[in-house]
Amino acid sequence: QVQLVESGGGLVQPGGSLRLSCAASRSTFNINSMGWYRQAPGKQRELVAAISTGGSINYADSVKGRFTISTDNAKNTVYLQMNSLKPEDTAVYYCNANSRFSAYWGQGTQVTVSS
């Protein structure tokens, strides 16, 4: 079992930046990939960015060039650096980790982009 705890959400003006962090409760040695999803009100949850243990990275088209996913394996943590934020980035952001047999989710952190 892996518990994921997100932090770093908040209110930011358009054009601003935030960095989300997701700390896993134990070593992620059997985790194949980690990533970030988001869900806006009335919309389905969607992939934002994901990174595999092999280093392969995938971004949603809407965030390419603005968001960067990274990991610190020593801290069992995955980050999402979000720059040039737009009002349409407003959503609850969820951390995700996948092993061969299970998917784990964090509790979510709210990101609001508004002036």
| CB neighbour class for 68 (10 Å; exposed up to 12, middle 13-18, buried from 19) | middle
Nearest one of 81, 87, 65, 79 to 24, comparing CA atoms: 79
> What pLDDT does 74 receive?
82
> What pLDDT does 28 receive?
65
> What pLDDT does 26 receive?
76
pLDDT, one tens digit per residue, over 10-52 is 999 999 999 999 998 876 678 889 999 999 999 999 999 999 9
> What pLDDT does 14 receive?
98
- For the chain, give percent helix, strand, coil, nearest 5: 10, 55, 40
pLDDT, one tens digit per residue, over 64-104 is 999 999 998 888 899 999 999 999 999 999 999 998 889 99
> What pLDDT does 25 receive?
84
Tell me: pLDDT of 107 over 70.
yes
Backbone angles phi, psi at 88, to 5 degrees: -70, -5
